[in-house]
Amino acid sequence: MRHITLSVLLNLALIASANAGENISGVWRDLFTRCRVAVETGKDFDAMGLRDLGESLRIAAPPTMAGSTKAIMPGYDVAEQRWGIPGDRFVVVETEYPPHGGKTRRSCNLELAPQAKPISADEESLLRAAFLAERDKLLDGRYEHWNPDPIFSTNLGIRLAGNNVNGCRVVSLLFIDTQSNFPSFLQTGSGEQDGTCGGAPRLIHP
């Protein structure tokens, strides 16, 4: 009963925070940290206070060479588990790639919920400042500065200096674009990078 009460109270607090635009960075920081810790430690995602939105399979399109439509390898299925806060703009998406040798790589990302209001330029500034503050706290012996290519209006990252418990390099990033002619874009979270590493699958794979 006490666990349920704590979960309900946390859920209400998250909803209240999510509904206040100026607190979007606080909600982001909480969920981003949960994702980062799960991927870096190899533990289950801490979903306390979140609603289970279910598992699903997503078909990843076959990759192609630049300037060509010819696939260089087949497409593949990825297993996903989604978590959310009722009424919030963020959805947490845990992803596992096809197992190889009994191991699978995982990622944990925040996406905008369906029908959610796009990220504004002001909110982009808040989220950018929040990521930089988190990165400054983490830049000790266990982490190293890393930024992805400058494709979007915000391109920030940090990388675990060594491997995680699954033998993987882990990068955490924040991509936002509010300055192109297309709808605003947000992707943020953590993921295992080395294709030969991984841990035991947690989700259902075909």
From CA 44, how far away is CA 65, in angstroms rounded? 36
Q: Read off the amino acid at residue 178.
A: T
The mean predicted confidence, pLDDT, of the chain is 85
Q: How far apart (Å, rounded) are the C-alpha atoms in residues 130 and 22?
A: 12
* Per-residue pLDDT tens digits for 105-152: 999 999 999 889 999 999 999 999 999 999 999 997 789 988 888 989
97 pLDDT more than 80: yes
Position 20 scores a pLDDT of 45
- Model's pTM, two decimal places? 0.81
Q: Is residue 57 a contact partner of residue 81, using CB atoms and an 8 Å limit?
A: no
103 pLDDT exceeds 70? yes
Q: At residue 62, does pLDDT exceed 70?
A: no
Which band of pLDDT confidence, cut at 50, 70 and 90, is reported for residue 2? very low
Q: What average pLDDT does this structure show over 2-21?
A: 48
| 37-61 mean pLDDT | 91
Residues 6+ apart with CB under 8 A from 167: 194, 197, 198
Q: What is the DSSP string of 100-115?
A: BTTBB-EEEEEEEPTT
Lowest-confidence region among 34-43, 144-153, 167-176, 177-186: 177-186
Residue 43 clears pLDDT 60, i.e. is over it: yes
**How far is residue 55's CA from residue 15's CA, in Å, rounded to a whole number?**
23
Provide mean pLDDT across the span 76-100: 90
Q: Which residue has the higher pLDDT, 59 or 11?
A: 59
* φ, ψ at 59 (rounded to 5°): -90, 120
- DSSP, collapsed to helix, strand or coil, labels residue 78 as strand
Residue spans per domain, the chain: 2-192
